[in-house]
Structures are given as structure tokens and as C-alpha cells.
Amino acid sequence: MMLNRLQSLDRARTERLHHACMEVLNKTGVIFNEPEALEIFRENGFRMDGNKVFFEEDQVMNALKTTPSEFTIHARNPEKSVRIGGDNFVLSPGWGAPFIVDAAGNSRSATMADSNNFCKLVQTSPHLDMIASSMVPPKDLDPKTATAELLASCFTLTDMPVTTNPCCRENAIETVEMASIVWGSREAATRGPVSIVSINPTSPLTYTPEAAGGLIEFARGGQALLISSMVMAGLSGPITIAGTAVLEMAESLAGIVLAQLVNPGVPCVCGGTSCAADLRFCSATIGSPELIQLMGISTQMARFYGLPCRYGGGLTDAHFPDMQAGIESTLNIALSLASGAHYMHQACGILGSYTEMSFEKFVLDEEIGGMVKRAIRPVEISDETLALDAIDRVGCGGSFLMEPMTAKRCRTEFFMPKVSVRETYEKWESRGKEDVTKAAEKHVKERLASYIKPDLDPGIEKDLKAYIAARTNA
């Protein structure tokens, strides 16, 4: 039996958590501040009290029967489409941070140029699997067209699957309309998801009009739904980890049920990014070990329900890509993937509890993600890789450096970092004892210089610009 120390749940503890979730949904209920959501529940026979909906266990479990355990998000470059669920996982970049922290530690508001440069870093990444349309909300955009411009940049500067704009009805409609331009028709853009959207209940146990309305519209448009909470233990949730885990899962399940009522079979991802609150400052602590405890519980409960799960990321409370940021981000990235998370939102670049992004931390987190991907990749065990002939040929006290297998595999067998140092002290000293942040700053410049815009039909790009112009004049 494999030893697992990361919140390993036996059947009895899993079922106790499940029954606790069902009790919350059935006894306490969930508020939906959206008339259409309430009408959908009413038409499907759910018990209600005003805007509060109560869930029977069989209603939840029936909804889970139509929720796929695995699904594909399609990219405009089919070779970059991704599979989520089962043994498959994806890394998506940092998202939603309004400020940029530069290599000197100075903070400023993000611009559209910053957003475009992050798109270019994602497109040139050897480790990231998705682009995100609101990595940094630019201060210099017209609010009327901001989300459309960000999404258009994703479609034109990259050819990857998309984590789309914040969840509300307008953005759902916009996403499907713009995807229809890129894919050629609404039918092509909605037959299988081309994007995933983050839908966040307001803890405890509330869906705002924006969250519920956006959920309905995205589900209706066949796009994948990331329904995840950020419960802060001691503030928006119980101060206990177990209670917070129950609240997080109950909120996620309530949204999944609604999505399946709207469009049975629409892909949904559960989970969250819940954490302890620092009660001295009434703030989230996303670099805390409690987030890792919650991660361990959430991924196992997702397996119990047969759902893909979101957790982890390059998460830190630090405001600079220093040792604190490195420790916290590495733990969160490594342990979430080791726990079995299928979708990593916020995989790279985040600082300051989601408030800031850093280009330098972006490429450092990206490299950590690549290392972890390599570390958890199953080792090939075959006649060739056991290398018994080579061991016998070299014998005792010899060297494998000149072996044919070494020459054949020397460029591919081991992970080769682009930013981390693997050189002698003398070589490092000769380069001015460059620290990792300076090395990352240099690597960012090299990557941006190497960027090549992926091919896109000029007519599609013209139509996207016309769509944005129409919104400007609306």
C-alpha cells in the first residue's frame, strides 16, 4: 500500500464529509440572487424558500450522473487542445491581478501592453497548456470593450485553449459570439467547449446575479465551467479546515447541479482555492499550509464524486519573487499536482494574494511547473530503459558517458531549466553573481524577442476588430 501523508481520506471519512455536504445543501440551502436560476430550480421540483434553494441528495447525485469525468477544451490549433480529468491535467496562467510588480519591486497598474506580453509568454511556453484572457485587467482600456479586447488578444496572439473573462451574462454571450467568429460558426464553437470560465460563489452559500446568470449563459453556450469557491476559514467559512472543506464543496456542487439542469452534460470542474484567513488583518493567506490541507481534501472528494478538480497554483502572499514566494509557490504547485488536481488556475506569475503579477515570477513559476510535470511523469520501465546490457558492458568502476544510449538521450532524458542555475561557482561569479530574479528578467526579454505570432486568417482578425468597434459604438 502506497504511503500518502497528504490528508489521505479513508472511505469512512470521505462518506462523513459527503453526508456533511448533503446536510448543508438540504438543511441550510444556497441563495441564488438570480430570477432565472430560481425559475429553473422551481421547474425541476426543488424545495425553495424565497431565493433560497434546498437540495435533496438524489437531486445532487442525479446531476452528477450527467457531468463528464473527463472532457476536451478545443484550441484553434487542434494540436494544442487539452484534456481535463482522469490522468490529464493542465496549467493555466495567473489571472485577474490589477497590478504589476517589476524586477526592482515597484508596483504599478497593468496596461494592455502588459497583457499582450503575457500572451506572448504563454504562446512561447514549453510548460503552460492554456491562455487566460484576463491575466491582468488593463487600466488603459475602455470598460465597454475591455473584456472583448482581452479575449481578442488571446485568439490572435496565441492558438491555445482559453480560460475566458470574468463570469457574467454579458461576458458569456460575448465569449460565444467571438468564438463563433474564430471557429466559423456558433455550432462549431459550441459543439464542444473552446473555453472554460471561472464561476465563484460568494461564501457562505450565495450566488450573486452575475455568478448565477453567467453560469446559466455559459452552460447554455456549451462552455466548460470552473465552479470553485474561495472560502476564508474564520471569515467567510468556519474556522476549522473540515468545516471550510464542506462549505467549499457544497457551494461547488450547488452550481454544478444548476449547470446540469440548464444543459445536461456540460463539463464542470469543482474545487477551489480556499485558505485560512489572517484574522489580524481580515485577509486571505494563500501561501499558508492550510490551503494545502484543503487541497488534499478537495481533490479526494472530487474523485469520490467523479469530477475533475481545480486547486493549487503559483500562490504566495509575498510581494516580490523572493525566497518566500519561491517556497510558497513551489509547495502549492507541486502538492496540488501530486494530489491529483486536474486544472491549475493561477499556475504562474501571482504575487500578493492575487493582487499583483510579475513577469519574472511568471517564468520562474512556469519552470517550477515544468519540473513538477517531469517529476510526476511515469518512469518508463522496459528492456531498453533498464539498460542491463550497458550496465554489464561498463561493469564495475567504469563510466557511462560514452555509451551509445547516453549520446542518444542526453538532450531529452533530463529536465533542462532555462532560468535556474546549474553551473560552477566560478562561472556564476564571472556573470556578476546574478540572482534568480535578474536571470528571470533576462529570460523574459529573450522570450518576448523570440515570439512569433501564430497564423490566423486575416479575415477573422478583421471581424474580431469589427466586433470590438461595434461594442464601442453601442
d(CA 48, CA 57): 15
pLDDT at 4: 66
- Number of residues in the chain: 474
Q: What is the pLDDT of residue 3?
A: 57
Domains for the chain: give ranges and CATH numbers.
Answer: 65-376 (3.20.20.480)
Q: What does the alpha-carbon distance between residue 220 and residue 75 come to, in Å, rounded to a whole number?
A: 20
- Angle, nearest 10°, between helix axes 209-220 and 35-43? 60
- In tens digits, the chain (474 residues) has pLDDT values of 455 677 789 999 999 999 999 999 999 999 999 999 999 999 999 999 999 999 999 999 999 999 999 999 999 999 999 999 999 999 999 999 999 999 999 999 999 999 999 999 999 999 999 999 999 999 999 999 999 999 999 999 999 999 997 789 999 999 999 999 999 999 999 999 999 999 999 999 999 999 999 999 999 999 999 999 999 999 999 999 999 999 999 999 999 999 999 999 999 999 999 999 999 999 999 999 999 999 999 999 999 999 999 999 999 999 999 999 999 999 999 999 999 999 999 999 999 999 999 999 999 999 999 999 999 999 999 999 999 999 999 999 999 999 999 999 999 999 999 999 999 999 999 989 999 999 999 999 999 999 999 999 999 999 999 999 998 876
What 3-state class would DSSP assign to 159? Answer: coil
| pLDDT at position 219 | 97
Helix-, strand-, coil-residue percentages of the chain, each rounded to 5: 45, 15, 40
pLDDT for the residue numbered 198: 94
Q: How far apart are CA 171 and CA 290, in angstroms?
A: 33
